[in-house]
Amino acid sequence: MNIKSGTATDSNIQVVSILESDLALIKPEFQGVSEKLFDGKKDASYWLEQDGNLVCLVGLGDGKSPKAIQNSFRRLLSKNADKFDTDCSLRFLGNLNESQISNALIGFELGAYHADFYRNERKNQFENLDVKVEAEGQNLDSLIDRSRLITQSLVEGMRLVDLPPSVKTPEYLADWALKLHGKNDVTVKVLDEKQAKEEGLEAFLSVGRGSSKASKFIIIDYQPEGASRHIGLVGKGVTFDTGGYNIKTQGMHHMKSDMGGAAAVLAGTKLISDLKLQVRVTTIVPAVENAVSRDAFLPSEVISSYSGLSIEVIDTDAEGRLILADGLSYLQKNYSPEMLLDFATLTGSSVGTFGYACGALFSKNEELSRKLQDAGGESEDKLWPLPLWDEYGKEMDSDIADIKNYHGKPIAGAITAAKFLEAFTDEHPAWAHMDIAGVAYGDSEFSKSKTGTAFGVQLLLNFIENELNHGQ
């Protein structure tokens, strides 16, 4: 798809977008369209033919919902693929701001994404579609370039989750990261199992013991000259989770999504480096497969960790927190970022609490918590805080080891998991954990089954840009 600014009137298909408050602006050009046919409200659309060309009017309502705008335009292309052939135009009338236009462009380009990678007859990918964009009072060229980079990272975030685990192995994630090496001030290092053993990443290695697919500890460091801040990211990278010997009894085919946190930080780091933002970002993805074999780790084992804390394994299906523990400790000890953020599809408890509406946010730093919620609100990657009170930490006490990985009770699962992680942050003053189990993968009007959402990618972008703007 080739998107560029230009005059829209000579296109075979015109898409005309407008806020409900500016509805009167369509009257001079489309006099025959009454408000009964098109009222400009959110999700409203109306097709007509004029001068031999197709025209689609798209209503944006009050324009306050980024997701609604994205979905309107994604729906436009995805659901009307047969109408879009070689060229089209996107015209934005009235008082649309840069963010609204950007979300429309992102949504339109997302309409070309389908998770039908292995179908003999794939849906149209619109590689040859030429798109002209027309809007008044905007620097369209830079807006189009920025929107394209955001879309590319969102697509990568979704694709990584949607790929089958036979393809998306720990080595695949490592190779994906290595492609960033040497571009835009990015360096990438991948520790294999031998190197991880030498480093003392025992909790990380324990989880992957049962798999024939070698674990990889991925370290990405984006360090532009003159970076004013340093943010550390950790993403849970369990490429498939059987549950280990505490094997899952239902929904296991969805467990290719258990690296949704890794997808968020990988795609987010790519986007931040592509946009050349003046911030250092160090990203760690412990990538493993949690399988069952004679070598798999066992319930009641005591394992070591990079931090030196011993861990009693109560449940092998509480594996994500084990690899995150080593990721957090390693990042803190070796890179000392100002802020330490982790994203993970960690617990069913977070889904039980919030459903599929938002991710669970944990941080004792109230300012950081508020900033993350604000950043998520801008893109509707919603987060809501849960407490990290000390009494929950007592649930993780072990008789035989320094800490246990699961409290074994059907209560406060997301909170106790967060308390476990907290023990491996060395009391970092600006740490936040985001449990995104209910929002990284889900049902959508754009697919027949659950697919990746790229939750967290735009949240990270908003958060970092807000931090940079605040420091100016």
| 374-432 confidence digits (pLDDT tens) | 999 999 999 999 999 999 999 999 999 999 999 999 999 999 999 999 999 999 999 99
472, pLDDT greater than 70: no
Q: 3-state DSSP call for residue 383?
A: strand
50, pLDDT greater than 90: no
β-pairing, 87-92 vs 13-18, is: parallel
Q: How does pLDDT run across 111-120, given as a tens digit for each residue?
A: 999 999 999 9
471, pLDDT greater than 80: no
Going by pLDDT thresholds of 50, 70 and 90, the confidence category of residue 139 is confident
Q: Which of 47-61, 233-247, 299-313 has the lowest mean pLDDT?
A: 47-61
Look over the chain and give the mean of its residue pLDDT values, rounded to a whole number.
96
Q: 3-state DSSP call for residue 2?
A: strand
Of 67, 83, 76, nearest to 44 by C-alpha is 76
Give me the torsion for CA of 242, 248, 254, 259, rounded to 10°: -50
Going by pLDDT thresholds of 50, 70 and 90, the confidence category of residue 52 is confident
| pLDDT for residue 95 | 85
Within 10 angstroms of residue 117's Cβ, the number of other Cβ atoms is 11
Q: What is the mean pLDDT of residues 128-149?
A: 92
Q: Which of 4-8, 16-20, 278-282, 452-456 has the lowest mean pLDDT?
A: 4-8
Amino acid at 90: L
Enclosing H/E stretch for 334: helix 320-335
9, pLDDT greater than 80: no
Catalytic residues: 248, 321
| pLDDT for residue 31 | 85
| pLDDT for residue 2 | 94
Within 10 angstroms of residue 102's Cβ, the number of other Cβ atoms is 21
- Whole-angstrom Cα distance, residue 159 to residue 118? 13
Q: Which long-range contacts (CB under 8 A, 24 or more apart) does 365-368 make?
A: 365/429, 365/430, 365/431, 365/432, 368/339, 368/430, 368/432
| pLDDT for residue 280 | 98
Of 364, 342, 333, nearest to 421 by C-alpha is 342
- Whole-angstrom Cα distance, residue 196 to residue 203? 10
Matching CATH number, 155-470, of 3.40.50.300, 3.40.630.10, 3.40.50.1460, 2.60.40.10: 3.40.630.10
- Whole-angstrom Cα distance, residue 9 to residue 14? 8
256, pLDDT greater than 80: yes
155, pLDDT greater than 90: yes
472 or 435: which leads in pLDDT: 435
| pLDDT for residue 447 | 94
- Whole-angstrom Cα distance, residue 26 to residue 393? 60
Q: How does pLDDT run across 164-188, given as a tens digit for each residue?
A: 999 999 999 999 999 999 999 999 9
324, pLDDT greater than 80: yes
470, pLDDT greater than 90: no
Topology (CATH) of 2-137:
Leucine Aminopeptidase, subunit E; domain 1 (3.40.220)
457, pLDDT greater than 60: yes
Q: What is the mean pLDDT of residues 43-64?
A: 93
273, pLDDT greater than 80: yes
pTM: 0.96
Of 213, 313, 307, nearest to 259 by C-alpha is 213
Domain ranges of the chain: 2-137, 155-470
Of 65, 73, 64, nearest to 17 by C-alpha is 73
Of 76, 89, 63, 68, nearest to 2 by C-alpha is 89
